[in-house]
Every structure is written in structure tokens, then in C-alpha cells.
């Protein structure tokens, strides 16, 4: 008898690439994961690098000199962008998890209204707020300094 | 099943804590030209004088350690969920969990040591 698994994920990572009938919700899901993985990678390196402050001023300045220059500045800005999106979209997800912004249960009368429709304005809000933060961040990183 | 449900709740709670603490960290480090907070020596937030001043503060010691723990848990639990969705066999799931726990604990020790040592160094000085 074949083994029965409870939650088969037949598409695997390929499922992150296509929105299918979920549209923007699915792309935000993929983007949330990608930014999360990027932030985790950065965070691990960040812990190791910034721990040098415990060894004094010389060690700290040596570590910072290793990660200075335009390439690292752009990399750091991308981390800021990832954080801005992940944080704001994370608030949307947490609120949805707690039952906010998902609508009330209604009778399924055609044309059916689903939670996806209720979430669309929230998604637009996430994108607008992220865009504003990305813009302010860009000014701070590249213009005001 | 109940255990995973609790971990998921902690994942969300950790996310909200990170939002506050990392939001503050990002504001200090990357919106300094606009806000200019917690950088008493002026200049760049990563200048040694500013780093040392923050390290001397009990508030930053506590918030760094809290942020470190919350972010490591949130990040590695999220990574575990992504890996589990790829449907590995049960023994592989167990190995993944243990590897991630050990890496997370190792990083927490390194980061916690750095926060505590810089704080103590400041007290001795």
C-alpha cells in the first residue's frame, strides 16, 4: 500500500513562481519568503561581524572597513528594502491570522465574494507604505548622506 | 500538532517584537540623517563612539538580546517551515529541526556574548 502523506506539496519551490488564480496574494507570499530568507542570511553574517565590537575599537573599525564601499552600501539598501516589505506585509499577515481584514462569513451566493477580494485593499496599502519607506530610505542612503 | 500551533503563535509574537526593536534599530542606523537618534557623538551611527555609547546603555543591552533571540527564533522557524513544505521524510525533518536549533543557539551565544562583553567592558572602563 502506498504511503499517504497529509500535505503533499507537488509544486515545491516552483509553486512560488506562479501566482495562478491567487494572483497578487501568491506573489506577495513568494516575496515574503524570499525577503525572509535574504534577511536571515544577512542577519547571520551581521551577528558574526558586529560581535567584533566586544574586542574593542581596533577590531570594530577593522570589521567595518571590510564591509565599506559602494557595493556594500547598495547591498545594505537592499536589506533595508527587504525589511520594509517583510515588516509591513508581516503586519498584514499577523492581522489576517488574528481575523482582522478577512471579512465576515457570508452565504455563498453567486457571484461569490472571497477573502481574496477583501484582502485586495490591504495588499494595496502594504505596497504603498512599502513604496514610501523605500523612497525615504533611498533618500537617507544616497542623498542626505 | 499542538506543539506546532504554539510555535506558530510564538513565531507571530516574535515577529511583532522584531517589528518594534528592528524598526528602532533600522531608524537609528539607516534614517539617521532624518531622525538622528541615539548617536550622541554625531557623525555616522557605526562610528566607534556611537557604538560604544549604545553598548554602555542597559536599554540597548536588553533590547539587543531580546531582538537577537526573537529574530533567530522567527528566522529559523520560518526557514524550518519552508523546508518542511518541501515534504522531506520524517527522519530528515528531525535532522533539519536539530541542525537549525543548534545553529540558532550557537549564534545566540555569540551575539549574547558580544552584547554582554561590550556592556561589561563599558562598566569596567
C-alpha cell read off for A115 = 477573502
pTM: 0.88
* Count of structural domains within chain B: 1
**Cβ-Cβ contacts under 8 Å, A137 against chain B:** 30-31
Asked whether residue B13 carries a pLDDT value surpassing 80, the answer given is: yes
Interchain CB distance below 8 Å, B34 and A144:
yes
- Min Cα distance A139 → chain B (Å) is 9
Interchain CB distance below 8 Å, A37 and B82:
yes
pLDDT-derived band at A71 (thresholds 50, 70, 90) equals very high
pLDDT at B49: 92
Asked whether residue B102 carries a pLDDT value surpassing 80, the answer given is: yes
Q: Is this complex scored with an ipTM above 0.95? A: no
Cα-flanking dihedrals φ and ψ of residue A69, to 5°? 120, 165
Asked whether residue B97 carries a pLDDT value surpassing 90, the answer given is: yes
C-alpha span between B2 and B15 (Å, rounded)? 20
pLDDT at A131: 97
pLDDT at B86: 86
Asked whether residue B125 carries a pLDDT value surpassing 50, the answer given is: no
Q: Could you read off the pLDDT of B32-74 as tens digits, one per residue?
A: 777 777 888 778 889 999 999 999 899 999 999 999 999 999 9
C-alpha span between A134 and A77 (Å, rounded)? 9
Q: What is the CATH number of domain A19-143?
A: 1.20.1300.10
CB of A67 within 8 A of CB of B46? no
The boundaries of the domain holding residue B105 are 2-124
pLDDT at B15: 96
Residue in B26, B30, B114 nearest the CB of A54: B114
Q: Residue B81 maps to which CATH number?
A: 1.20.1300.10
**For residues B118-122, average pLDDT:** 81
Asked whether residue B124 carries a pLDDT value surpassing 70, the answer given is: no
DSSP state of A4: P
Closest-CA residue in chain A for B121?
A54
C-alpha span between A43 and A49 (Å, rounded)? 10
Interface check for B124 against chain A (CB to CB < 8 A): the answer is: no
C-alpha span between A64 and A75 (Å, rounded)? 14
For residue A1, how far is the Cα from the chain centroid? 41
**Cβ-Cβ contacts under 8 Å, B107 against chain A:** 44, 47-48
Asked whether residue A7 carries a pLDDT value surpassing 70, the answer given is: no
Minimum mean pLDDT among A48-52, A118-122, B27-31, B81-85: which range?
A: B27-31
How many of the other CB atoms lie within 10 Å of CB of B27? Answer: 15
C-alpha span between A38 and A32 (Å, rounded)? 10
- Rg of chain A taking only CA atoms, in angstroms: 21
Interchain CB distance below 8 Å, A140 and B71:
no
Interchain CB distance below 8 Å, B15 and A97:
no
pLDDT at A115: 79
Amino acid at each position: 500500500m502506498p504511503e499517504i502523506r497529509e500535505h503533499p506539496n507537488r509544486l515545491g519551490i516552483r509553486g512560488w513562481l506562479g501566482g495562478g488564480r491567487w494572483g497578487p496574494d501568491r506573489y506577495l507570499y513568494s516575496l515574503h519568503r524570499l525577503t525572509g530568507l535574504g534577511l536571515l542570511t544577512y542577519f547571520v553574517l551581521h551577528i558574526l561581524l558586529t560581535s567584533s565590537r566586544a574586542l574593542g575599537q581596533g577590531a570594530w573599525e577593522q570589521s567595518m572597513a571590510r564591509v565599506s564601499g559602494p557595493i556594500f552600501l547598495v547591498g545594505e539598501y537592499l536589506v533595508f528594502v527587504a525589511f520594509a516589505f517583510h515588516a509591513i506585509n508581516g503586519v498584514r499577515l499577523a492581522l489576517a491570522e488574528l481575523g482582522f481584514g478577512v471579512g465576515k462569513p457570508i452565504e455563498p451566493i453567486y457571484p461569490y465574494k472571497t477573502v481574496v477580494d477583501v484582502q485586495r485593499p490591504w495588499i494595496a496599502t502594504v505596497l504603498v507604505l512599502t513604496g514610501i519607506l523605500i523612497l525615504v530610505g533611498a533618500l537617507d542612503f544616497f542623498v542626505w548622506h | 500538532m499542538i506543539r506546532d500551533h504554539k510555535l506558530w503563535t510564538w513565531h507571530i509574537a516574535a515577529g511583532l517584537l522584531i517589528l518594534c526593536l528592528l524598526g528602532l534599530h533600522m531608524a537609528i542606523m539607516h534614517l539617521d540623517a532624518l531622525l538622528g537618534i541615539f548617536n550622541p557623538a554625531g557623525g555616522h551611527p557605526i562610528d566607534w563612539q556611537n557604538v560604544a555609547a549604545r553598548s554602555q546603555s542597559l536599554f540597548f543591552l536588553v533590547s539587543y538580546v531580546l531582538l537577537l533571540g526573537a529574530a533567530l527564533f522567527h528566522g529559523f522557524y520560518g526557514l524550518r517551515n519552508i523546508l518542511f513544505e518541501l515534504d522531506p521524510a520524517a527522519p530528515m525533518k528531525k535532522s533539519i529541526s536539530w541542525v537549525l536549533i543548534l545553529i540558532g543557539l550557537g549564534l545566540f551565544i555569540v551575539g549574547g556574548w558580544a552584547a554582554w562583553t561590550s556592556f561589561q567592558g563599558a562598566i569596567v572602563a
